[in-house]
Amino acid sequence: MARLLVWLSEFGQNPALRRLVRRLAPYADRPWFPSLAGFLAFAATLSLTVPVVPVLCAMVAMNRRRWRSITFFAVLGSAAAGALFTHLLGHFGTAFLIEKLPQLVASKHWHVTVAWVSNYGFVSLAAIAASPIAQTPALILAALLGMPWFEVFTSLILGKGVKYGVMAALTAKTADQAIEYYGRDAVAVAPKRGSSTEGR
């Protein structure tokens, strides 16, 4: 588990993201740090290119005492971005997006998602958000089916609340093990209270 945490905190093989998150470590004790997690989760979800879980785990590892508030804002930001994405697709149309992603429509995952969301709607979207399955096809389908943005938002809150909550809790509990096993420099963490660097 400690090895997994370090991998998550380093975003696998993405050095740009790793550097970005490491630069946040000195600010982990600032009052606005959890809300920054919400902003980053919003941007990551809306960009459709950056997974939120590694961002969340890295930020929780920096300040384990505030893992609940970091998770809360990350869930809120990611759910808001997902609802906005669906709303914009519904407003501007999804035909151009499907035309640009023919491999998506041809995939088995797409057909399974179509069946789930068509039959179960809200519940299936929440389940997909809580699972490791990519949620973008489900959001596109929700837009195609005309799901209201507030319904999408609520389902994402529920699903992401479960997934992010579990991952953040595991990170908070195992961060000390990772630091002890790999050393403090291996994982970006906030300075402990009472250290000479705190408050800079």
Q: Distance of alpha carbon 120 from its chain centroid, rounded?
A: 24
Per-domain boundaries in the chain: 2-186
| Two tokens, residue 184 | 């403090």
Using CA atoms of 80, 82, 88, 89 in order, give the dihedral in degrees to the nearest 10. Answer: -170
* pLDDT one-digit tens code per residue, 185-200: 444 455 444 443 333 3
Query: What pLDDT, on the 0 to 100 scale, is given for residue 27?
Result: 86
Q: Measured between alpha carbons, how far is residue 62 from residues 32, 101, 104, 132, 190 in Å?
A: 14, 37, 36, 24, 5
CA distance 89 to 140: 7
* pLDDT one-digit tens code per residue, 145-176: 788 889 999 999 999 999 999 999 998 888 76
pLDDT at 136 over 90: no
Instruction: Give the least confident one: 2-6, 124-128, 194-198.
Output: 194-198
The CA radius of gyration of the chain, in Å to the nearest whole number, is: 18
More confident residue, 23 or 69: 69
| Two tokens, residue 180 | 């002890």
- In this prediction the pTM is 0.74
DSSP-derived secondary structure letter, 134: -
Query: What pLDDT, on the 0 to 100 scale, is given for residue 11?
Result: 44
